[in-house]
Amino acid sequence: MIAAVSTIEKFKNWVEHRHQYARDWKARTGGKLLGTFCTYVPEEIAYAAGILPVRLLGSHEPQDVTEPYLFGMFCPFSRDVLAQGLKGRFNYLDGIAEAHTCMHINQAFESWSIHLPVKSFFISMPSKVQSPRSRPLLAGQLGIFKKEIEEWTGRSISDADLDRAIDIYNTNRRLMWDMYNLRKAPNPPITGQEAMFVALAQQMVDKEEHSQALRELIEELKTRKLNRDPGARLMLLGSEDDDTEFIKMVESVGATVVIDDHCTGTRYFWNEVDCVGDNRLESIANRYLDRTPCPNRDWPDRIRFPRVLQMTKDYGVQGVIMIQQKFCDPHEADMPALTAYMKKAGIPTLFLEFDATLPMGQFRVRVEAFLETIGQEDLF
Amino acid sequence: MTTKDIKRYKTKPFDSWKLAKELRMNHYREIAESRTEKGKKLLIGGGTESMLGLPAGLGEYVFFGGEPYAASMSAGDPAFAVECMEATESAGFARDLCAYMRDYLGSFLLDRYYFGGPFPKADFYLQTHFCDTHGKWYQIVSEMVGVPYFSTDFVPLRWDETVEGRQQKVEFFTGQLLDAIEWMEKITGIKYQDELLIEAVKNEFRTTSLWAECAVLNQAIPAAMDEKSMYSFYILAVLMRHRPEVVRFYEILRDEMKDRVANQIAAVPTERFRLLHDSQPPWYALHIFRYLEKFGVACVGANYEFGLSGGWDYKPGEYLRPAVPPQDRGVPLKDREDACRALAEWWLDYHLIARGIRFSGPGRNALVMHMLKDWHCDGLMIHLNRGCEGLAVGQMEIRLALVEAGIPVMTYEGNVGDPREFDEGRTLARIDAFMESAGLKILEE
Ligand code: SF4
Ligand code: SF4
């Protein structure tokens, strides 16, 4: 039985009532709401103009409204996101933004732009983040984005506005790591599902408010004891994943998720904007180029794999669940090499393919079998 | 209706077809021989939208392009293609990944070259990335083969790109081309010769412009070139557009096209309905185009083979015409920097496929509409291609835009390289239904 912690309930409520939160925020502040298709959208710039960026996520309900717009081979996540727009669930948005991520979510963005009447912004985010040439390109693209935001809101973004936004975002990222670090404990004071609520809320709620709640949560966690056996320590990684029911199921069969490599988790808050010199846009660009890349951007060298491995060490991970959205080419391309890499490091992996809705019974059996192998002695 | 009742044009096979085939087969032979003592030569692997002229400064080399190789095997020996894909899938790769990549990887894993002998492993890999698969494909291959890899990142222009945005992208790409040259020099130890580069890029510009010219000539009624001939012709620009013999080939083809147009020599003698095709074809089922001909349907073009290695000067709503090579516009091409900048500008400004993959939506829809008008098409046939996510981008939106505009459009599902995902009976039934709605029946011979 997990003792209820009111602060955690707050994060859960934010996630479960995200639309209400956004509407209330708008009524309260009179600001604009910008839906983001991906974590590469440089939110600091929009935030500096008084805009609240909110991540567009799916609802995990079966749907067929996207069929006329998206071919069935596009990932369930991108289709689910578009479905939310088409069903009017995000009709409070003033604008949408995408920084080129992958062709699937790009396509959802394009269809949204065609069929739903909101302002749209596209940032040409380079893919070869490892090239020094990407730095001036992205800084330049951010300059264009900044100008477009200024025109849209009718207010200019000063250096002081940017500094304030950067500071608020950096603080929030730092606090997320403070909370995540507590999960390194032998018996983590927070479950994986609870941590996922905190991480998801981070992408939907005003960062100042989120940080405030996070500070309270961290204080509570310092003395919190969970009356449960943590079981096997697991990592989740792979495609977009906001399935809190899946984590709940995993943690109900003798495991605790202690860390992740998801764009809905560590990849979102990985690093801070390190302001060097006067050019804030360059500093913001560097932050996005230096974060753990999604597979699409992880070439020619592999930056993500060693970081993932380091996390398994830091968090005492005993097994990794590799999650891949069906048809997610970026992660599909990485899976064989990553599986081999983990195997070489002696870390067991379980591969699961996600759809918008999950066959939970089947997954439970597979997770249980996986947990058994983790616990087993190597006899041969 | 019989063929006697409808207008019948003269027809004859293309004279250039034999030369195209010869050049293509020599190329694949050259690749195999490059790995032998006798024909030893630098072999560079990668995607064919790589800047093929770039390695020319290293001296003689041959480029082994993954996509046309996969297309060849899927067209020529579908069973082998399936064997290759199964080998890739056994190695843990998902079945819905790019079919060309699965063909290519499987051929490597089986160590069997479709044109005979072992799989030719390159000395290094050079790629250009604009579809999500590009950068990853040769990362995987270079790790497996154990040789160096360089990829440039091509960030396409938006359909409504600003001057400022274009400039940023030109600088970005030019810089990377210069980096690629330095990298190639370093890993091969070969001194790079700028004059050879300049010649090669001039050839790239010329070839791609000439291919666009040939495509424009196909606007004539009747169309001189059909879809199947196009596949044999466009491929040379894809494989080796930087070589002088390929420039020469397209000059010959252009002249032959002019002659056919002047003399009304048709590809489909009973042409009475013109279609545009979207995406690559299912290579193992090219006979569907023959089937269309039975109805008097000519497939007169496609964004894919026109755009892939074509240099197109496109102004939305105004014109779509062959781009003029920089050397004809007095653009200085004196040194490496000039050549790289001109190459970057050429691909950024005139590569419509890359732009369409990154920016689908209204821009891409408008381009298709423009092509339908210029090529006097009666409709569009969309291959909903499960084997190429790049070209599948925006397809359903195009369909919708056409339906809304009252333009006939049909879709069929398939896979560019994987016959396991193609249902021939169903496709033919869809064609029949589409033909019926257009009021067309099979013409009796
Ligand atoms: S990265 Fe994968 S999960 Fe995310 S949008 Fe792209 S295809 Fe979908
Ligand atoms: S564009 Fe299509 S064929 Fe080319 S690499 Fe991408 S998915 Fe493969």
Ligand 2 center to residue B99 CA distance, Å? 8
CA distances from B282 to A136, B20, B74, B286 (A): 41, 21, 8, 7
What is the per-residue burial (b if ≥16 Cβ within 10 Å, else e) of A262-289? bbbbbbbbbebbebeeeebbbbbbbbbb
Partners of B126 in the beta sheet? B150
Any A CB within 8 A of B164 CB:
yes
Q: Quick check: B410 and B382 in contact, CB under 8 A?
A: yes
Check: CB of residue A185 under 8 Å from CB of residue A314.
Answer: no
Name the closest residue on chain A to residue B139, using Cα atoms: A300
pLDDT tens for each residue of chain A, 380 residues long = 344 458 999 999 999 999 999 999 999 999 999 999 999 999 999 999 999 999 999 899 988 899 999 998 999 999 999 999 999 999 999 999 999 989 999 999 999 999 998 999 999 999 999 999 999 999 999 999 999 999 999 999 999 999 999 999 999 999 999 999 999 999 999 999 999 999 999 999 999 999 999 999 999 999 999 999 999 999 999 999 999 999 999 999 999 999 999 999 999 999 999 998 899 999 999 999 999 999 999 999 999 999 999 999 999 999 999 999 999 999 999 999 999 999 999 999 999 999 988 999 999 999 999 999 986 655 55
Task: Answer whether B136 touches A (CB < 8 Å).
Answer: yes
- The set of residues, in sequence order, having a beta carbon less than 8 Å from that of B200 and lying 6+ positions away, is B52, B53, B54, B56, B57, B242, B243
Q: Measure CA A50 to chain center.
A: 22
Average pLDDT value for residue range B217-224 = 98
Cβ neighbourhood burial of A46 (10 Å; 0-12, 13-18, 19+): buried
Residue B379 bridge partners (DSSP): B275
pTM for the model stands at 0.96
pLDDT tens digits for B185-197? Answer: 999 999 999 999 9
* pLDDT of amino acid A2: 42
**Percent over 70 (pLDDT), chain B:** 99
Spatial contact of B156 and B359, defined as CB atoms under 8 Å apart:
yes
pLDDT at B50: 82
ipTM: 0.95
B389 to A335: CB separation less than 8 angstroms, yes or no? no
Lowest mean pLDDT of A67-76, B139-148, B258-267, name the range: A67-76
Q: Which amino acid is at B214?
A: C
Q: Residue A29 is which amino acid?
A: T
Average of per-residue pLDDT across B208-234: 96
User: Nearest Cβ partner of B143 from A73, A137, A337?
Assistant: A337
Whether the predicted pLDDT of B121 surpasses 90: yes
- For residues A380 and A231, give the distance between their C-alpha atoms in angstroms, rounded to a whole number: 24
| Domain ranges for chain B | 3-437
B78: distance to nearest CA of chain A, Å? 22
- Asked if B133 lies within 8 A of A114 by C-beta distance, the reply is no
CB contact under 8 A, B359 and A134: no
The 8 Å CB, 24+ separation contacts for B430-435 are B431/B288, B431/B291, B431/B292, B434/B379, B434/B381, B434/B408, B434/B410, B435/B295, B435/B297
Q: Is residue B179 within 8 Å of B170, Cβ to Cβ?
A: no
Distance CA(B56)–CA(B336), nearest Å, equals 12
SS3 for A56-83 is CCCCCCCCCCCCCCCCCCCCHHHHHHHH
Does B119 touch chain A if contact means CB atoms closer than 8 Å? no
Q: What integer pLDDT is reported at residue B2 of this predicted model?
A: 57
On whether the CB atoms of residues B55 and B42 are closer than 8 A, the answer is: yes
Residue showing tokens 């790109």:
B161
Which among A126, A134, A336 has CB closest to B93?
A336
Q: Which fold would CATH assign to domain A7-155? A: Rossmann fold (3.40.50)
Inter-residue contact A9 to A228 (CB < 8 Å): no
SS3 label, residue B298: strand
Strands A319-325 and A232-238, how do they pair?
parallel
Q: What is the DSSP letter of A138?
A: H
Taking only the tens place, the pLDDT of each residue in B333-365 is 999 999 999 999 999 999 999 999 999 888 899
Which residues in chain B (25-44) have CB-CB distances under 8 A to chain A? none
Q: What is the residue whose two structure tokens read 């909370």?
A: A179
Tokens at A229, concatenated: 């056996």
Contact B57, B193 (CB under 8 A): yes
Mean pLDDT for the stretch of residues B39-43: 95
